[in-house]
Amino acid sequence: EVQLVESGGGLTQFGGSLRLSCGVSGFIFTGYNMNWVRQAPGKGLEWVSNIRSDTGATGYADSVKGRFTVSRDDVKNSLYLQMNSLRAEDTAVYYCARDNHWSSDIWGQGTMVTVSS
């Protein structure tokens, strides 16, 4: 079964850091680019970051550039998002998603990140 499972969310203070993980199973991880997408409570979806499978090149939304770092471990079949200098507006459910045909075709269940002031 194709599955993405996020972990690492939780409550942290303004200016703090968290590292999210996304474990992958059921498909060849090295064959796919991967995305992080977030959703603030009661709000819409916001693309956060992605990472290519071939070159490891990364992309970030302007709102997180310089604070968040995406990475992947192809041996552990895992995707990561290091989040530093967290702000209240980073409070959201964070989803990892597989990139296929310029779309996100498989999504995890999400992990909640809460930044308190």
Whose structure tokens read 């989803």?
95
**Nearer CB in complex with other proteins: 17/56:** 56
What whole-number distance in Å separates Cα of residue 107 and Cα of residue 6?
10
User: Per-residue x/- mask for other proteins, residues 3 to 42, rule CB under 8 A?
Assistant: ------------------------------x-x-x-----
**Nearer CB in complex with other proteins: 82/106:** 106
> Are the C-beta atoms of residues 73 and 56 closer than 8 Å to each other?
no
User: Which class for 77: exposed (0-12), middle (13-18), buried (19 or more C-beta within 10 A)?
Assistant: middle
- 58 lines the binding site for other proteins (CB under 8 A): yes
Judged by the rule CB under 8 A, the positions of this chain that interact with other proteins are 33, 35, 37, 44-47, 50, 52, 57-60, 95, 97, 100-105, 107-110
